[in-house]
Amino acid sequence: MEAINVQDVSVNDLPWKIQYTHERCTMCGSCVAACSFNAIEAAMERRSVTISTGHQPEPSQRHMAVPVIKQRAVVANACVGCGMCEKVCPNNAIKPVRNLDSRINYLNRSGGAPVKRGGRNNIFGSERTLDKIVVGRISQMTDPALDSERHTFDILAPFGRVLLPSELPFVSDGNELKLTEKTPPVNWIYPVIFSDMSIGALSTRAWEAVALATAYLNEKHNMPVRMCSGEGGMPIKLMQSEHLKYMILQIASGHFGWNRIIQAMPHMKVDPAGILIKIGQGAKPGDGGLLPAAKVSKPVQAIRGVPKADLLSPPNHQGLYSIEESVQKMFMSMNAAFKFRVPVAIKCAASATSVSVYNNLIRDPYKICGGFFIDGIQGGTGAANEVSLDHTGHPIVAKIRECYLAAVKQGRQGQIPLWAGGGVGLTGNAAADAFKLICLGANGVFLGKLLIQLCGCVGNEHGRCNACNTGNCPAGICTQNPRLVKRLDIDKAAQNIVEYMLALNSELKKMMAPVGNSSLPVGRSDALVTTDRAIADKLGIQYVC
């Protein structure tokens, strides 16, 4: 009997198997050309067929070599289930099928290195708190509901420090009130921010599509949506254009790209919408950013001022080891750089310490902090260690609620706007998620993964694709490979984002109108109910059955 090496990898060990119908295949090669992971290849198979052509049974064997499309049984080139082969096949001869018997979790670590991937958290994908909450208070006889189609709604959220009435530097001069000193800058913007995704993490085309959609929403539909640059800087032409006013510049622990931003400051025609200091993110809290060398193309090298290499950000801002230091150094310096005209906010990963951080920021005597962005465990990423992505972090809902209630106890709610992220729009309905988080205390939300899904991303929380870290994105979104980037249609991607946001705006009004609110119902938890007793007790909302 032939010896079998049980350690050899077979197709049945991989997470996806290629279902191939030879009779339909014309060997055009489209599927092989479309596969960016080299998971399939053209090969020859030896086949033996027993046939009989006479009137009486006269079996004979015929041997032939048949060209076929074959799946490679190699972990490094494992099929990710993106389905590009199925999309391009003119004869429906090939498609990926999920393999429930996969051993990939064991095989992935055979090289001795931790597993990396992109995408979002897989652990909490099917157990979302937001899906167990509904709007239960409908204004009918007690107070009138609004007409979502005809009523005028004020859907704006503050980005910047909001002072208490007693803190406003007003003096009365006869019949007029006059300011005796400057107040912190506040920009009133749409309560949905396009989250920080850098040029590098995204392809130049994908980033351009999001920027194009942002400008179009502002200039054609009067929706003051803002977009965050992400770590790594921005193109000089954009920083010197009028469109900079729609952009929030991010400075993260790696400080990538900030030399160019500082050099561009004297040439900026307008101020940016704000500055976001990223301390951490929900997808990999306590870990720095990672941009693999495969994504560090020449444009990215120029913008960031780096050679082609893996770009690792430290887990924290060097020299900032307390909240007080952050306020004194980062906030003061960034505000001074723009002469106190631009609000500066901070972004942290949701954690058990979020409320402590928020309380300290509220007590900031400089009144510098203009926003607290909290990113939950279901946030997306372009590259992270899988163990961090799945097993570190904190769900966003409870942290937003705790921070809001902590501010309420001090009578300081709304002073530092709360922005929630991490899985917002996970099911495709961002309007409902945003409304519920606003009712729990958030001033607004930020979206990331949803945007690239609108651009054509096929990754999901069930293990499909999520190969953002490889630089081989089959949709041309999370790659710098020129051949793959060309697959992305910038205009179509931007159009999808614009149309989604227009629908979201209408849906948000549909949620506000029955409650009777013409402005954002920040903290109106009385509008929400749940059938889950634990959620009701934790969030302080009504339990129903």
Q: Which two tokens stand for residue 336?
A: 């001074």
* Tokens 């958290």, located at residue: 121
Q: Does residue 432 or residue 369 have the better pLDDT?
A: 432
Q: CA nearest 69: which of 38, 99, 100? A: 38
What domains are defined for the chain?
Answer: 11-51+61-113 (3.30.70.20), 132-543 (3.20.20.70)
Q: Which residues sit in the known binding site for [4Fe-4S] cluster?
A: 25, 28, 31, 35, 79, 82, 85, 89
Half-sphere exposure of 323 (CA within 13 A, CB side): 20
Q: What is the mean pLDDT of the chain?
A: 91
DSSP at 355 = H
- Pairing assessment for the beta strands 94-98 and 157-160 based on DSSP bridges: unpaired
CA distance 100 to 67: 29
- Pairing assessment for the beta strands 274-278 and 290-291 based on DSSP bridges: unpaired
Sort residue 272 into left (φ over 0), alpha (ψ -120 to 50) or beta: beta
Q: Which amino acid is at 428?
A: G
CA distance 447 to 228: 10
Q: Where are the beta strands (DSSP E) in 99-165?
A: 116-119, 133-135, 157-160
Please state, for a pLDDT cut of 90, what percent of the chain lies above it.
68
pLDDT category at 124 given cuts 50, 70, 90 is: low
| Average pLDDT of the residues in 439-465 | 95
| pLDDT score at 1 | 54
* Tokens 């300290």, located at residue: 360
| pLDDT score at 38 | 96
Q: Which residues sit in the known binding site?
A: 25, 28, 31, 35, 79, 82, 85, 89
Does the pLDDT value for residue 126 go beyond 70? no
DSSP at 143 = S
What SS3 string covers 233-290?
CCCHHHHCCHHHHHEEEEECCCCCCHHHHHHHHHHCCCCCCEEEEECCCCCCCCCCCE
Question: Which residues have C-beta within 8 Å of that of residue 540, sequence separation ≥ 6?
Answer: 401, 405, 525
* Tokens 């988080």, located at residue: 437
Q: Which amino acid is at 264?
A: A
Are the C-beta atoms of 485 and 208 separated by less than 8 Å? no
- Pairing assessment for the beta strands 226-228 and 444-447 based on DSSP bridges: unpaired
Q: Is the dihedral of CA 426, 217, 498, 525 positive or negative?
A: positive
Q: Does residue 402 or residue 7 have the better pLDDT?
A: 402
CA distance 491 to 499: 12
| pLDDT score at 529 | 97
CA distance 220 to 167: 37
Q: Which two tokens stand for residue 257?
A: 């790209």
User: 3-class SS at 182?
Assistant: coil
Q: Is the dihedral of CA 184, 364, 279, 422 positive or negative?
A: negative
Are the C-beta atoms of 445 and 379 separated by less than 8 Å? no
Are the C-beta atoms of 545 and 532 separated by less than 8 Å? no
| pLDDT score at 125 | 53
∠ CA 241-374-425, rounded to 5° = 80
CA distance 337 to 317: 18
Does the pLDDT value for residue 23 go beyond 70? yes
Q: What order do you get walking across the sheet with 528-530 strand by strand? A: 133-135, 528-530, 542-543
Q: Does residue 25 or residue 328 have the better pLDDT?
A: 25
Q: Does residue 497 or residue 255 have the better pLDDT?
A: 497
pLDDT tens readout for residues 186-234? 999 999 999 999 999 999 999 999 999 999 999 999 999 999 999 889 9
Half-sphere exposure of 188 (CA within 13 A, CB side): 6
Half-sphere exposure of 53 (CA within 13 A, CB side): 4
Please state, for a pLDDT cut of 70, what percent of the chain lies above it.
98
Does the pLDDT value for residue 175 go beyond 90? no
Helices (H), 149-250: 204-221, 236-239
| Average pLDDT of the residues in 509-537 | 95
| pLDDT score at 368 | 84
23 class by beta-carbon count within 10 Å (0-12 exposed, 13-18 middle, 19+ buried)? exposed
pLDDT tens readout for residues 475-495? 999 999 999 999 999 999 999
DSSP at 485 = H
pLDDT tens readout for residues 80-118? 999 999 999 999 999 999 999 999 988 988 888 889 899
∠ CA 477-480-481, rounded to 5° = 105
pLDDT tens readout for residues 309-351? 988 888 888 766 677 777 777 777 888 889 889 999 999 999 9
Of the chain, the end-to-end C-alpha distance in Å amounts to: 65
CA distance 490 to 485: 10
pLDDT tens readout for residues 227-273? 999 988 999 999 999 999 999 999 988 889 888 999 999 999 999 99
Q: pTM value?
A: 0.93
Q: CA nearest 270: which of 241, 299, 293? A: 241
